[in-house]
Amino acid sequence: MSDIEEHIAQVAFNEDGLAPVIVQQWDTAEVLMLAWVDAEALRRTLTTGRAVYWSRSRREYWRKGDTSGNIQVVHEARLDCDGDAILLRVDQTGPACHTGTRTCFDTTDLHAVEGSAVE
């Protein structure tokens, strides 16, 4: 088994064969988007240096930027401690969100109360 296959085998994919990917700008730590991968999408991402995801709505693979030009060049991919979520650190060209904004997390503020470590 190759190193890539060994790494993919460590991922705890859900019952649909998918794992969530948190996508972050590599140099600023800005959270850009959340996407999904199956084993093949992750394999393509790890071996090509470009982010590839599984579209749950279209039921097909999509390499970020192929139609929009807003590509994601991979800098690092990490698995969380439970093996069920992936952090993908990328260099984003243009907007990351399909709505045309830089990040998918710049819309609705849920107005959380700011917490404190002291009670």
pLDDT tens by residue, 88-107: 999 999 999 999 999 999 98
Cα gap 101→18, rounded to integer Å: 26
Output the average pLDDT for the chain: 95
Q: Is the pLDDT of residue 45 over 80?
A: yes
Number of neighbours of residue 23 by Cβ within 10 angstroms: 24
- Predicted local distance difference test score (pLDDT) of residue 86: 98
Q: Residue 1: what pLDDT?
A: 65
Q: Between these two residues, 107 and 22, which has the higher pLDDT value?
A: 22
What is residue 113's DSSP assignment?
Answer: P
Q: Is the pLDDT of residue 7 over 80?
A: yes
Q: Bridge-partner residues for 23, per DSSP?
A: 33, 88
| CA neighbor of 25 nearest in space, from 100, 91, 71, 104 | 91
